[in-house]
A and B are shown apart, each in its own frame.
Chain A
Amino acid sequence: MIFNALRDALGLIAAADGALFQIIWLSLKVSASATLLAALIGMPLGAWVALTTSRLRTILIVFLNACMGLPPVVIGLLIYLLLSRSGPLGALGWLFTPKAMIVAQTVLITPIIAALTRQVIEDAHAEYKDWFASLGLSVWATVRTLLVDARFSLVTALLAGFGRAVAEVGAVMIVGGNINGFTRVMTTAISLETSKGDLALALALGFILVSMVFALNAVAHAIKRYAARRYG
């Protein structure tokens, strides 16, 4: 049975099956959008936490680190309650749409990107802080400069966030509803097809998901090596 499923899975990929690629395209669209939003929130937030001398700093670091481990189904449930018809954001009508899935993934990966950014910026700042203080650079100018200077290290943070988003199943299942052709993404499809016993499609999607994760890591590694060679 396993060999038959494997053969069928490879057949689906080789035949560039339409349903398969629709699912992949939606997964990429949702996760890339969530990564972009999470970067816009998480990177400045992480950089600010790295540089702030506020008494809240330690609390914020603990909070961000704790949020990295939040169970996705709990995030999904909270977003569901917010977006459900009787919820505070119910009027938006986003529940069971890709928008709700983007919101859930954004909430899930923002702490990851913020926490990784904080570490990168903290390390970079240790190197530059005397010079920047000597130049009289403002906090926000410092944040901007460090984000640009550490851009290649931050790519790793972005890819880690994207990797987590694209591999997530619990939250998007709850807020997206796994509607065929509309909110079905790779992970929810794998879950559904496995429960139905259609292992070929589940395996094909699994191959592609794992390949993407490997490819992302290879890209991150290549970017870091290129940056180290070119910029020192």
Chain B
Amino acid sequence: MADDMATLLTLQNASVTIQGKALVEAISLRVGSGEFVCMLGANGAGKSTLLRLAHGLIAPTHGACARVPIAEQAMLFQRPALLKRSAEENVRFSLAARDVPYAEQVARTDEALAACGLSALATRYARSLSGGEQQRLALACAWALRPRVLFADEPTASLDLNAVHAVEAVLRALHAQGTTIVMTTHSLAQAKRLAQRIVFLHQGRVTDDASAALFFAGERSPSASHFFEGERL
């Protein structure tokens, strides 16, 4: 990250070990305001664990992790968990959870649903929406919170191509508004479309941390190159 950026997240030699198995090991990372970071890696590389660690859902077993307060963060999960309520009630719920006054909840809900292209579906029950619409609704819940940093854990992993592009468009719009985005994906194409910076993980360790331009131009570690070439790591 550039030195003049405000730091939103710092990991210093952070590790997560569960039942003797290191899921991520000795990670040092800084994420600055306004970045769009994609964490790449094969299944089991430790991407989701690192994201959960960065967001604060799990604590490091070694090392340190400093971040902006939880009230300034939001997280998007691979499978959106939505309440058995309407789309707009789900957005309002996430605002109520952060103690946003009711009058403001209504305005911010309308704004977030419009930004995610869901205004017409506001009163539909969340569980009756398609997979792509549900993920955009989860994004609307995050959008309404106006987070400084959004963590997104493979948000398009189970979606068809149209839905993937719709979710990516919302992520771009959110980033354009100034939200820092840290996202995991195993799709090189998606990382190329979205990221400014690539963090590549292999067996729980960061092997590459470079601008997307350099990474895709070929400045990669051997393990990232293997992944890039579609070889089994």
Contact = CB atoms under 8 A, between A and B. Distances in A.
Interface of A is mostly: helix
Given A127-B81, A231-B127, A232-B128, A135 B57 contact: no
A133 B57 contact: yes
A137 B125 contact: no
Contact of B81 (A131, A136, A137, A232): A131
Contacts of A141: 97
B97 A136 contact: yes
A55 interface: no
A17 interface: no
Most interface-central of B75, B81, B85, B98 (chain A CB within 10 A)? B81
B93 interface: yes
Contacts of A149: 83-85
Contacts of B75: 130-131, 134
Interface in B27-84: 52, 55, 57, 70-71, 73-75, 77, 81, 83-84
A133 B57 CA distance: 7
Contacts of A227: 84
B77 A232 contact: no
Interface in A90-104: none
Contacts of B127: 231-232
B94 interface: yes
A180 interface: no
A204 B83 CA distance: 45
A196 interface: no
A216 to B, nearest CB: 23
Given A130-B77, A231-B125, A232-B128, A135 B94 contact: yes
B125 A232 contact: yes
Contact of A135 (B85, B97, B125, B128): B97
Interface string A117-144: 0000000000110111111110001000
Which bracket fits the contact residues of A? 10 to 19
Contacts of B125: 230-232
Nearest to A137: B97
Given A141-B97, A232-B128, A134 B55 contact: yes
Contacts of A133: 57
A145 interface: yes
Contacts of A137: 97
Contacts of B126: 232
A151 to B, nearest CB: 9
B71 A128 contact: no
A134 B145 CA distance: 12
B74 A145 contact: no
A189 to B, nearest CB: 42
B84 A232 contact: yes
Nearest to B73: A134
Given A232-B125, A232-B127, A136 B84 contact: no
B74 A134 contact: yes
A160 to B, nearest CB: 21
Contacts of B52: 130
B74 to A, nearest CB: 7
Nearest to A142: B97
B77 A136 contact: no
A136 B93 contact: no
B114 to A, nearest CB: 22
14 contacts: A128-B83, A130-B52, A130-B75, A131-B75, A134-B55, A134-B74, A134-B75, A136-B71, A137-B97, A145-B93, A149-B84, A149-B85, A231-B84, A232-B128
Interface of B: 52, 55, 57, 70-71, 73-75, 77, 81, 83-85, 93-94, 97-98, 125-128
Given A131-B75, A134-B55, 12 more contacts: A128-B83, A130-B52, A130-B75, A134-B70, A135-B94, A135-B98, A137-B97, A141-B97, A145-B93, A231-B84, A232-B126, A232-B128
